[in-house]
Amino acid sequence: MNRLAVFDCDGTLVDGQAAICDTMADAFAKADLPLPDRNQVRRIVGLSLPQALRLLAPGYEAKHGALLEHYKTGFRDRRTSGVLEEPLYDGIVALIERLSQAGWQLGVATGKSDRGLFSCLERHGLLDRFVTLQTADRHPSKPHPAMLEQAMTDAGADTGSTVMIGDTTFDMEMAAAAGVRAFGVAWGYHEPAELLEAGAEAVANDMAELEQMISNAV
């Protein structure tokens, strides 16, 4: 079986919180709804958009459809106008290169849309580094295991040869549901203690620690 390392995107590969929080604030304003706390928005990053809105706007279900469209339009406008910022975390490119050279198959499992993920990876010159890309467009929201299950099928891997790397409890819970090992990263949107409680074997504080964890996993 091939060895497969599946990464979350926002909060793990790239820091997209500013763009997400700002776009969400604009969407709520256009829907004439009270703005959620920025930290609340930060904590739902990684969920599919409908699931995120259920948590951010309980009691306003009748406006969820409008919110969703305002958010999608706002994010697309940021992307096409060139103001969207989703910077890579320092050291990610080198880590991906070294894992590829060591024979790892690489994948992404994210709450982003297909368009959002492809655009993000293409902009950073990473699109061809991943053999499997799983998004909220084609799967239930995390922590459902469907994204990881499809990633393993695509990569010719199994539960014993796959690891999930992410920054949220949703990632750790998805890994547990799929029966694969999970490692957290400390530079994302949930606290290390939360990741450990949700099933992470360990939490990396930097890229060197993360590389060692992955390399020793399978």
Residues in the chain: 218
Q: Convert the pLDDT of each residue in 145-199 to its tens digit.
A: 999 999 999 999 999 999 999 999 999 999 999 999 999 999 999 999 999 999 9
CATH topology for 17-81 is: DNA polymerase; domain 1 (1.10.150)
For residue range 95-138, list pLDDT tens digits in order: 999 999 999 999 999 999 999 999 999 999 999 999 999 999 99
In sign, the C-alpha dihedral spanning 48, 54, 57, 63 is: positive
What is the model's pTM?
A: 0.95
For domain 4-15+86-215, the CATH architecture is 3-Layer(aba) Sandwich (3.40)
pLDDT in tens, 40-95: 999 999 999 999 999 999 999 999 999 999 999 999 999 899 889 999 999 999 99
- Tell the residue number behind the tokens 């099933």, with chain if given: 199
Looking up tokens 């990876």 gives 121
**Residue ranges of domains in the chain:** 4-15+86-215, 17-81
> 136 pairs with which residues across the strands?
none
* Cis-peptide, bond into residue 143, ω within 30° of zero: yes
